[in-house]
Amino acid sequence: MPQDSPSMLPARRQAVTDPALPAPPVYLDSPPERSQLPVSHYIWLIRRSARRILAFVTICTAAALIYTARMTPYYESTVTIDVDRRAATDVLGRDRQSSAPVELDQFLASQVRLLQADSVLRPVAEQYRLLERPGEAPSESAKEREEFSDSPVILTRLRVTRPPNTHLLLVSYRSPDRKLAADVANGVAQSFLEHSYRIRYKEAAGLSRFMEKQLEELRAKMEQSSGALGQFERELNIVTPEEKTNILSTRLIDLNSEFTRAHADRLKKEAAYQSLEQGLEEAAQVSSQKEALKKLTEDFHGASQRFAEIRSKFGGNHPEFKAAAARLEETRKLLNETEQSISKRVEVEFQEAAAREQMFAKAVAATKSELDRLNSRSFQYQNLKREAEGDKKLYEELLRRIKEETINSSFQGNSIRIADPARPGRKPVSPSWPLNVSLAFVLSSLLAVGTAVALDIMDDTVREPEDVARTFGADVIGSLPQVKQWGQQGVILAAAHGVLQPGGEHGHLSSYEEAIRSLRNSILLRDFERRIRTLMLTSTTPSEGKSTAAAHLALAHAQQGHRTLLVDGDLRRPAVHQRFGIENNHGISDVITAGANWREMVSSPASAASLHILTAGPASPRKAADFLGPCLARIMDEAYTEYDLIILDAPPLLGFPECLQMATSVDGVVVVAKAGDTSRKGVGAVLSTLEKIGATVLGVVLNQVHQDLSKSYYYYGYYGKYHGHYSGRDANG
């Protein structure tokens, strides 16, 4: 192969920074978060961890099965309590009870809490000695139970539930003793009923005491108001003012009628009296003797007419004349006496009518005055009477209520009653084998899968090429499979002699050698016009396989007949000489410290004449590392014309300053990262540092990849089978 002359060295430097080459990607010191992975990745992840997941689930399920078998069986008994808010709780006063509003949900919630109250549970716990039984109450030592004996009783195995849309309460209790479970459940229900009765009895007794106290005050007030009413009635000297008022009103009406008639009669008599001045006839018309006067007048006229007739016939001495004259005189005398009597009677009747009118007028005035006086005090009387009647009615009502409460307090009827008592269970309800095993299986499966996914999400290492490309935008130019047993120098020497066999001791290295050849082609065939002549391999931290990769890469290149120089630039932990089984007595450290010629330090394995190795040499002081960069730059400039490819095994870049000088002296830098071990942050820091100093990063090599890291490496499992099948065909062919 033609070699470049010294005049081509500037062209090589130009190739590194030629603007015609693609611009290097920009790397970040802090890599971004991983993008969302497809579902197929998690399916692969579960399949990869299937054995571990299955083992964990099997262990958890078996543990649950064993634990369930060792658990104590528990029986459960349930008593049903019926709650009827419409039921009568009193013997008397049911109308008062039925008018109360019913809040069923709140009432049932209150009853559920009361069922778990200390007043209900303590008698049952003391009766059956539940606090002394293990597991029947919260775990407390005997000293604590004795010290806090007055603390509320809590039964952990008691359960109170309410079926939806019902008025029922279910009180359940669990115990290893089936009879005890039923007895405790029934005891709690009965204690709850008795507790409800005691509450009602205490409430009624308290209400009775309160009402009795109020009764004494009402009695005193009633006596006071009744006394005031009696005193007022005595002052009025009447039994009931209402009746007196009615009598006076009737009397006043009658007097007004009589007064009106008397007034009319007086006017009539006054008119008759005044008519006496005009003549007797008008007065006689209103007199009671008008008939007698009329007859006398007729008799007088008849006597006068007869006297006139007799006088015309007879003389004055005639007996008839004298008799007629005497009769006429007698009639005139009777008429005059009657007229005088009528006049006197008319006057007397007028005076009587006037007096009668005055009397009725006085009587009407007196009755009206008495009625007004009585009406004015009637309002005061009504107020006193209403107050007295109200006090009496309230006293009687309170007395009645006291008697009702006394009777009702002894009545045990309640709206809460036991509908179905608890009975001992036939089969234990706990533990449930299917439930426990199913829960253990489901929960352990979820936990195992969740742990696998969580570990994958929290994994910050570089595992597959997509991680590098997606996170840093860099190329992965090669993936080296995992080799379980390297064998150190024997591996490299066997590879140099070409004795690697798939079925032999180092047969598993065949896939690794194939990956090395693929890496060699990826590097050297990247640009046909400007071929890479100097190459540096570095890593983020030690033990990532860069020295092994550099040794195999140099050997693979030399096996094609190309002159290859492998330089061990790691003066702190040299490893190249171990890979080929050569001595490390002389090397670059001698060139730096003693000024020796580097060509004299070069050695070559007997089986690979085209491969030359420049070891690091014996351990050197720290000062040698400071001059390593310029020394290697000079060595590579001198060896550039002698070798087709110079591979530099550099120290890890993070923490070692000499790597920065080496990176600027080569055509390309390859970063080796251990798949599943090197963090993305470290790779990002290396790539960012190389980009800042202007080094040409060819890409990243993932080392020790295997099928368990990613589904992208599935094909590595077929390398050994393929080579074995191919070798078998050659042997048989």
> Which two tokens mark 710?
């990613």
In this prediction, residues 683-702 reach a mean pLDDT of 89
**Does the domain spanning 6-17+26-47+459-732 belong to CATH 3.40.50.300?**
yes
Please, what CATH class does the domain formed by 241-409 belong to? mainly alpha
Query: What local confidence, expressed as pLDDT, does residue 17 receive?
Result: 37
At 377, the pLDDT band (50, 70, 90 cuts) reads low
Q: Please answer whether residues 584 and 577 qualify as being in contact, where contact means their C-beta atoms are separated by less than 8 angstroms.
A: yes
pLDDT at 80 over 90: yes
At 7, the pLDDT band (50, 70, 90 cuts) reads very low
Could you give the percent of the chain with pLDDT greater than 90?
A: 11
pLDDT per residue over 657-667, tens digit each? Answer: 888 888 888 88
The mean-pLDDT minimum among 306-310, 368-372, 546-550, 707-711 falls in 707-711
* Residue 481: closest CA among 716, 289, 147: 716
At 159, the pLDDT band (50, 70, 90 cuts) reads very high
pLDDT per residue over 245-297, tens digit each? Answer: 667 677 778 878 888 888 887 777 777 777 665 655 555 555 555 666 677 77
Beta bridge partners of 174: 76
Query: What local confidence, expressed as pLDDT, does residue 280 receive?
Result: 52
Candidate ranges 80-84, 407-411, 563-567; pick with highest mean pLDDT: 563-567
DSSP structure string for 186-214 = HHHHHHHHHHHHHHHHHHHHHHHHHHHHH
- At residue 133's C-alpha, the angle toward residues 130 and 134, to 5°, is 130
Mean pLDDT of the chain: 75
pLDDT per residue over 709-726, tens digit each? Answer: 655 555 555 445 555 444
Query: What local confidence, expressed as pLDDT, does residue 423 receive?
Result: 92
> What is the biggest distance separating any 2 CA atoms in the chain, rounded to whole angstroms?
234
Query: What local confidence, expressed as pLDDT, does residue 171 receive?
Result: 93
φ/ψ (deg, to 5) at 304: -65, -40
* Residue 571: closest CA among 642, 656, 492: 656
pLDDT at 211 over 90: no
At 443, the pLDDT band (50, 70, 90 cuts) reads very high
Domain ranges of the chain: 6-17+26-47+459-732, 49-71+431-457, 75-210, 241-409
pLDDT: is 233 or 641 the higher one? 641
In this prediction, residues 480-509 reach a mean pLDDT of 53
pLDDT at 22 over 70: no
pLDDT at 332 over 90: no
DSSP structure string for 156-189 = TTEEEE--TTSSEEEEEEEESSHHHHHHHHHHHH
pLDDT per residue over 643-654, tens digit each? Answer: 999 999 988 988
pLDDT: is 313 or 100 the higher one? 313
Query: What local confidence, expressed as pLDDT, does residue 156 receive?
Result: 87
Spell out a b/e string for 264-284, using b for 16 or more CB atoms within 10 Å of the CB, else e.
ebbeebbebbebbeeebeebb
At 670, the pLDDT band (50, 70, 90 cuts) reads very high
In this prediction, residues 505-524 reach a mean pLDDT of 75
Query: What local confidence, expressed as pLDDT, does residue 726 receive?
Result: 44
Question: Would you put residue 618 in left (φ > 0), alpha (ψ -120 to 50) or beta?
Answer: beta
pLDDT per residue over 316-328, tens digit each? Answer: 677 777 777 787 7
Close Cβ partners of 239 (under 8 Å, ≥ 6 residues apart): 233
